[in-house]
Amino acid sequence: MSVQASDLIPDTQGRKLGATDQEWDAKLNIVDILSQLTLGGDKVQLLWGSGDPAAAANGANGSTGTLAPQGSLYFRTDGAQGTTLYVKFGTGDTDWIAMSSVTGGTITANLVGNVTGNVTGNLTGNVTGNVTGNVTGTLTGATALLSPLPTDQGGTGVDSTATYPASGTVMTVEATQSPKNKSMVGASLGNTVTLLNKQGSVSAITGDVTDYTIFTFTVPANTIQAGKGFRIVFGYSHYSGTASVTYKLWFGANVAATWSNSTTGSGHMTCEVVNASGQTNSQTAFGHGAATTVATITTDCTASQVVKATFNVANTDQVSGLFWLLEVIQ
């Protein structure tokens, strides 16, 4: 039953509502009689009932939805939090949307259009418009922005195919950031980084007739590709004593270069280690500086390998490290 606002005419004693030819006692519960109230000459309506008005069969000619002018309100008598009040946002019978809370709680309706405020709750529906405010809650479900970010808002204007991490901070081009746990040296990653490691001086160490490590660095797996290599630059000082010192540069378990002398003072050695063409486990090592050496070794570059410099001398002598550099030859 529908009543026009013009029909609600109280009598002089204020006890009754209705037209002069049909009056209702004001004490009656008219909510039990009416299902809607029309205001402003069919401009908007106040409706109430059970169920979702967009899914009901109250549309024109019994179609799905609820027939009402745009801007009407529907009070759902069996609704829960976020599904009790609906507003008619369009002209179609199914153009109803629940007025949900946007501060705390859970929003399960679909947001179609622009969200320009702050969303501090959880969004579990679809966001198909532009979100220009702050989203501080949890986005679950189909939460991708289907509309590309315009160029005037800092976007590219096209849909992105980038893969974002599940957690952490996204790096940007201009921001000052410190990447952690990132492999930047692998040639297979398409990077042009060549410096693998650099170390400074090491205090004098007394020999003990064993191969004593002065400098060491672990090259990550697959860093040295087939036909590529790396360079070692090793500076040292025979600090004290006159005994013969044996120096070695290692790649994995293999010696890439070795030489001996008893000269007190500083010296240096450079060694290039290069994979054979099409192979990652066969290398030629060419050493020059304090001595000239050539060696063929078989170290597996698909696994992590230790590169180190050692010396071996009697306990009458001391050796110190001056400089260490390791770089990729791409």
Q: Are the C-beta atoms of 99 and 114 separated by less than 8 Å?
A: no
What is the model's pLDDT at position 177?
74
The DSSP secondary-structure symbol of 115 reads B
Q: How far is 154 from 174, CA to CA, in rounded Å?
A: 14
- pTM for the model: 0.48
The DSSP secondary-structure symbol of 61 reads G
Residue with token string 């994979």: 275
- Give the residues of the chain that fall short of pLDDT 50: 1, 5, 9-33, 102-109, 141-146
- Which CATH code fits 195-329? 2.60.120
What is the model's pLDDT at position 126?
54
What is the model's pLDDT at position 284?
98
Please choose, from the candidates 219, 239, 253, the residue with its C-alpha nearest in 3D space to the C-alpha of residue 311: 239
Could you give the residue range(s) of every CATH 2.60.120 domain in the chain? Answer: 195-329
What is the model's pLDDT at position 134?
56
What is the model's pLDDT at position 192?
60
Q: How far is 196 from 297, CA to CA, in rounded Å?
A: 21
Q: How far is 18 from 30, CA to CA, in rounded Å?
A: 11
Strands 318-329, 202-206: pairing is antiparallel
What is the model's pLDDT at position 32?
45
Q: How far is 165 from 184, CA to CA, in rounded Å?
A: 17
What is the model's pLDDT at position 312?
97
**CB neighbour list of residue 174: distance below 8 Å, 6 or more residues apart:** none
What is the model's pLDDT at position 194?
85
Q: What residues pair up with 75 in beta bridges, in sequence order?
A: 48, 85
Q: Are the C-beta atoms of 133 and 145 separated by less than 8 Å?
A: no
Please choose, from the candidates 119, 108, 97, the residue with its C-alpha nearest in 3D space to the C-alpha of residue 52: 97
Q: How far is 224 from 103, CA to CA, in rounded Å?
A: 54
- pLDDT tens for each residue of 144-162: 444 677 777 777 777 777 7
Q: How far is 165 from 177, CA to CA, in rounded Å?
A: 16
What is the model's pLDDT at position 88?
92
What is the model's pLDDT at position 60?
66
